[in-house]
Structure 1
């Protein structure tokens, strides 16, 4: 099932400014905080010396403002990066509410980064950082299929093939025949979100899901008479 959404509803689902969950995602772990703090400290030091070098000039106020902005990067950085990621979703002109099923779910051990280090003999060694990740494949009767890969969580153990899966899809075509991007996946039976980044406002998404379900339950006969012609196979183009 694929139901087009209005632009207004789409913008409610993916806001311009980061939500609390999105801010928390980009806040990251302690090393991420330390990196932002280091950038802030370096920025303040540079601004301080630049301010001293330009004493008496009109650029002093601008340097001071830049110093304050960079000095608080550790705090507002997550808002900036989350809002920028939201913009990558909001650039698509059309969107839809998609309902399908879990086709497969499995775990892989993937390389998530590499580090260069020196061993006891003084040789340069590249160390792979590996992480176990969950791979979730979802699809529908039209032949649409996509896969989501996320870090392992204990809650994901309950996911099984055949369960209903919901998500938001984005397109550059009014008929949504080509899907360019997808959101995180919601499994209503488990009340569980499968996500690497919480791109949608989950409270609004669940309200939309509930509203659509109630409409289909209230007037099944109307739904059958108003059924749209069979849609051609949707094309997924992540690029």
Structure 2
């Protein structure tokens, strides 16, 4: 099932500025923080010693901006990601089913170290990931992936799956971007970057579900079967 949404509704679902969950995602790991902190220190040094020709007030402002780069950079990067989704003129609410569930080990990074013999050793960091193949009756299929968690154990083929799809065509015939996937039965989100305003999406999902139930033809009532009386 694919229900077109207005551009206004899509922009309600995809925030303009970074949310708390998006900020935490882009914040990254300790090495990401240290990389930003190093950049801040270098930038402050450049402003303090290399831009003396600027006025004191200008130099102070630039120094504050550079010194706090480690803090505000994740919010800016997350907002740029949001902007990539918000630029699509057409979007829709998609509901389908989980077709397959499987686990893989994905390479997430490499580290170089030296062993006791002085030889360079490359260590591969791998992570177990959940993979969902999802699709609908029209033949549309796609795959979403996320870090494997304990609460993923109950996911089975046939579970309902919902997401936001984005396109440049008004008929949504070509899907170019998708959001993370919501599994209503488990109240779980599957994906990497949390692009959606999740409370707003769940509210939309429930309203569409109630509307579909109200419009579905009601089955006629059956007359009660006569009971056999006991003597």
Q: Shorter-chain TM-score: what band? A: 0.7 to 0.9
Q: Is the 8 A contact 1:136 1:149 kept in 2?
A: yes
SS at match of 1:179: coil
Taking the aligned partners of 1:103 and 1:156, their CA distance within structure 2 comes to: 15
Report deviation, 1:60: 4.5
Runs of 4+ in 1 over 6 A off after TM superposition: none
CA RMSD across the alignment: 1.6
User: TM-score, normalised on structure 1?
Assistant: 0.85
Asked if 1:86 is matched to 2:82, the reply is: yes
Question: What pairs up with 1:44-63 in 2 under 5 angstroms?
Answer: 44-51=44-51, 54=52, 57-63=53-59
Aligned to 1:9: 9
Aligned to 1:71: 67
Report deviation, 1:122: 2.9
Taking the aligned partners of 1:33 and 1:119, their CA distance within structure 2 comes to: 27
Aligned to 1:227: none
Question: What pairs up with 1:1-239 in 2 under 5 angstroms?
Answer: 1-51=1-51, 54=52, 57-220=53-216
SS at match of 1:200: coil
Report deviation, 1:58: 4.3
Report deviation, 1:59: 4.8
SS at match of 2:175: strand
Taking the aligned partners of 2:156 and 2:198, their CA distance within structure 1 comes to: 22
User: TM-score, normalised on structure 2?
Assistant: 0.88
Report deviation, 1:119: 2.9
Structure 1 residues without counterparts, runs of 5 or longer:
222-239
User: Which has the larger Rg?
Assistant: 2
Taking the aligned partners of 2:121 and 2:20, their CA distance within structure 1 comes to: 40
- Count of residue correspondences: 217
Q: Is the 8 A contact 1:164 1:187 kept in 2?
A: yes
Of the structure 1 ranges 63-72 and 205-214, higher mean CA displacement relative to structure 2 is found in: 63-72
Taking the aligned partners of 1:106 and 1:99, their CA distance within structure 2 comes to: 20
Structure 2 residues without counterparts, runs of 5 or longer:
218-231
Report deviation, 1:100: 0.2
Of the structure 1 ranges 57-66 and 23-32, higher mean CA displacement relative to structure 2 is found in: 57-66
Aligned to 2:228: none
